[in-house]
């Protein structure tokens, strides 16, 4: 694999900016909440700017790993501080930067334990960024756990609707996943005989047998797949979404679930390609069930956050189906879907958060007619719903199109069922919009103010991203294909 070392440690700068933001927040007295918000917004803007620069500075013709930083850390154990970015990780870094910054702005009005909240958010996002850029298995595992640890406290302290239950369920599920990932990593490192955790070296130098690859891959698929919401390991997801506060829901559904799918891709597919091909039919079956199940489960919900939570299960199933096709189109569509769904679901939870903060209810039957009292806030909500449906000219349309084209070629039955599930998903999204935004107006909410310009800024950013990559999908596809084409070509005989 082509590797281009960085003339400046841009990737480390992203991590350092998050850690610096965390340390500065810890030094500010808790009563100075406005200063904490300003510092949080400033330090969350730095990784966004850096991730944007990296996305557009990446040399697509050269491809491969760029902005590489590599320093031997523990030579006796073969552990290296090894970061790099390619066509798979750059969309995820950009996604994290966008959702992080908009999530901080969305929580601008938070008044309860502001210091602790933003400190934990910065700690969580440091782990997320680290996970997307790490190329050493030891650091991948460490960053993965760092990103999960703050979730329990964020939900248990600032959450709502059975928050202790949601936090505990999420933690137990994700710990179970983590308990499968570590043995898989150690198994491959030990059996390789190379004495290194370097993912690239293991990918090219290790000679794993088909059995070893099949065994390790299923550990990674279940371990990381739990966080990705793979059916039937998804049950923590809707509960966690409902219990989490707005910004945590945005980062949770927008970014954290992508860590799971990215882990399957970066570790499972890279190190165990034969295991991936062996288990692909099972992956396709579970993904299709997830798409259909998420759609029908969402259809029967009356809580807005449960609806979005089950739609996330359905949409993440599309990612799994794309990966299972073992094709360039499927792989590219899956990564694009990870990005598009991350931005879409952040906008969805951000919009629901505003509605809940004003009405103090998420129950669809208690809402209605919001388009007359809050037309701007409703517009953001409707755009998120349309993105979830996969309307053309919005980012998710292209991602889903690529996955379905690939699935029809490889798994025609699953592709047909997945499209049927998407139709059901569109029906329940339209039902949610109809019952929440239109229809009879609840008189209790007739006096509520619409979303002002300032609080609307993070929603505007998210809408702009959805429309930009919907109108110019090649910006994203060209980036992803610099990684997916050579990766699939390497697998073919």
**What token pair was written down for 389?**
């449906």
In the chain, pLDDT over 70 holds for what percent of residues? 99
- Who wins on pLDDT, 361 or 194? 194
pLDDT band (50, 70, 90) for residue 469: very high
Q: Are strands 79-85 and 65-74 parallel, antiparallel or unpaired?
A: antiparallel
Task: Give the span between the Cα atoms of 326 and 320, in whole angstroms.
Answer: 11
Comparing C-alpha atoms, which of 143, 161, 154, 69 is closest to residue 114? Answer: 154
Fill in the DSSP letter of residue 366.
G
Task: Give the span between the Cα atoms of 122 and 100, in whole angstroms.
Answer: 9
pLDDT for 216 equals: 93
Fill in the DSSP letter of residue 447.
T
Average pLDDT in the chain: 88
pLDDT for 15 equals: 95
pLDDT higher than threshold 70 for residue 492 = no
Q: Which residues contact 459 (CB under 8 A, 6 or more apart)?
A: 102, 347, 350, 351, 380, 451
Cα dihedral sign, 55-58-64-68: negative
With H, G, I as helix, E, B as strand and everything else as coil, classify residue 278. Answer: helix
pLDDT for 166 equals: 75
Terminus-to-terminus CA distance in the chain, angstroms?
18
Q: What average pLDDT score do residues 445-472 get?
A: 88
Distances (CA, A) of 450 to 246, 252, 355, 433: 18, 26, 10, 17
Task: Give the span between the Cα atoms of 59 and 56, in whole angstroms.
Answer: 8
Range of the domain at 343: 3-490
With H, G, I as helix, E, B as strand and everything else as coil, classify residue 65. Answer: strand
With b for 16 or more beta-carbon neighbours within 10 A and e for fewer, the 239-252 pattern comes to bbbbbbbbbbbbbb
65 strand-pairing partners: 3
Task: Give the span between the Cα atoms of 347 and 459, in whole angstroms.
Answer: 6
Comparing C-alpha atoms, which of 59, 5, 98 is closest to residue 469? Answer: 98
Give 303-361 pLDDT, tens digit per residue. 887 888 888 888 889 999 999 998 999 999 999 999 999 998 889 888 888 888 788 78
Task: Give the span between the Cα atoms of 197 and 381, in whole angstroms.
Answer: 44
Exposure of 339 in the CB half-sphere (CA atoms within 13 A): 34
pTM, two decimal places = 0.94
Task: Give the span between the Cα atoms of 273 and 208, in whole angstroms.
Answer: 10
Specify the number of domains making up the chain. 1
Q: What average pLDDT score do residues 16-42 get?
A: 93
Alpha helices by DSSP H, 58-113: 89-106
Task: Give the span between the Cα atoms of 79 and 69, in whole angstroms.
Answer: 14
71 strand-pairing partners: 81
Distances (CA, A) of 34 to 22, 25, 115, 118: 16, 11, 10, 12
Task: Give the span between the Cα atoms of 438 and 189, in whole angstroms.
Answer: 57
């Amino acid at each position: 694999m082509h590797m281009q070392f960085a003339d400046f440690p841009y990737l480390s700068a992203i991590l350092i900016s998050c850690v610096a933001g965390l340390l500065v927040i810890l030094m500010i007295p808790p009563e100075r909440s406005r200063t904490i918000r300003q510092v949080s917004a400033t330090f969350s803007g730095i990784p966004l700017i850096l991730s944007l620069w990296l996305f557009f500075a990446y040399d697509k013709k050269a491809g491969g790993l760029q902005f590489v930083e590599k320093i031997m850390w523990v030579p006796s154990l073969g552990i290296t501080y090894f970061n790099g970015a390619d066509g798979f990780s750059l969309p995820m870094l950009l996604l994290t930067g966008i959702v992080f910054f908009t999530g901080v702005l969305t929580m601008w009005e938070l008044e309860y334990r502001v210091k602790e909240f933003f400190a934990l958010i910065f700690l969580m996002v440091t782990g997320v960024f680290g996970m997307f850029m790490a190329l050493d298995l030891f650091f991948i595992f460490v960053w993965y756990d760092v990103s999960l640890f703050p979730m329990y406290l964020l939900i248990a302290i600032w959450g709502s609707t059975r928050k202790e239950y949601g936090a505990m369920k999420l933690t137990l599920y994700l710990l179970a996943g983590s308990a499968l990932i570590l043995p898989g990593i150690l198994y491959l490192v030990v059996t390789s005989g190379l004495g290194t955790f370097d993912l690239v070296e293991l990918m090219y130098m290790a000679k794993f047998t088909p059995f070893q690859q099949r065994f390790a891959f299923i550990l990674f698929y279940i371990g990381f797949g739990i966080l990705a919401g793979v059916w039937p390991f998804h049950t923590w997801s809707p509960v966690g979404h409902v219990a989490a506060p707005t910004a945590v829901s945005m980062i949770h559904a927008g970014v954290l679930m992508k860590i799971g799918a990215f882990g399957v891709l970066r570790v499972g597919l890279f190190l165990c390609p034969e295991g991936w091909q062996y288990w692909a039919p099972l992956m396709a079956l579970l993904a299709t069930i997830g798409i259909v199940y998420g759609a029908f489960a969402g259809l029967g919900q009356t809580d807005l956050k449960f609806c979005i939570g089950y739609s996330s299960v359905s949409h993440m199933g599309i990612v799994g189906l794309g990966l299972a096709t073992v094709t360039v189109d499927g792989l590219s569509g899956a990564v694009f879907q990870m990005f598009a769904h991350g931005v879409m679901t952040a906008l969805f939870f951000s919009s629901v958060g505003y509605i809940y903060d004003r009405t103090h209810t998420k129950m669809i039957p208690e809402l209605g007619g919001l388009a007359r009292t809050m037309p701007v806030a409703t517009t953001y909500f409707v755009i998120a719903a349309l993105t979830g449906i996969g309307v053309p000219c919005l980012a998710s349309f292209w991602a889903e199109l690529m996955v379905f084209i690939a699935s029809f070629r490889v798994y025609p039955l699953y592709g047909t069922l997945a499209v049927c599930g998407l139709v059901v998903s569109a029906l329940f999204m339209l039902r949610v919009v109809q019952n929440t935004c239109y229809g009879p107006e609840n008189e209790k909410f007739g006096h509520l103010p619409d979303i002002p310009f300032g609080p609307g800024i993070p929603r505007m950013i998210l809408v702009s991203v959805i429309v930009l990559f919907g109108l110019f999908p090649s910006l994203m596809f060209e980036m992803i294909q610099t990684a997916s084409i050579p990766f699939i070509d390497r697998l073919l005989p």
